[in-house]
Structure 1
């Protein structure tokens, strides 16, 4: 039986940022592996494979539930709150 998609992802209208850097990593002189865009506020953060895991820390601080990949060619979203994943097409 396929997993039901959560409401956060079902209603997703991707918010795509023009930024391609993690502001927090830049401020501290660190680097990142991949970038994610918060779908509530549009901030770009580094992924969990990065040293600082700013995207997850942003969720923990704000409870903004959904991120999308900010990587070129990737069109997927993750909901932290419901631990759900989906691909989307624009």
Structure 2
């Protein structure tokens, strides 16, 4: 999921699918949406409108991720997507 508006609410929701969804935060001066889950074939699965309320955005994101990636994960795997160990992922994020 590409987060273009630093939306912690949407990242927290997407983390429930962290075994299947990679979350990236980026900044742009002219964003087309707040967040976009992008499928492996480069299609956009859903978009959060600019400044869309948490109530509607979280619910819609949850529905989209469930439709495309199934039910959310119940447990956190030892590795992040791509096989990076969780401890290394955290260290990389701090750099």
- Greater share of residues in strand: 1
TM-score by length of 1: 0.30
- Greater share of residues in helix: 2
TM-score by length of 2: 0.29
Q: Which has the higher contact order (CA 8 A, sep 6+)?
A: 2
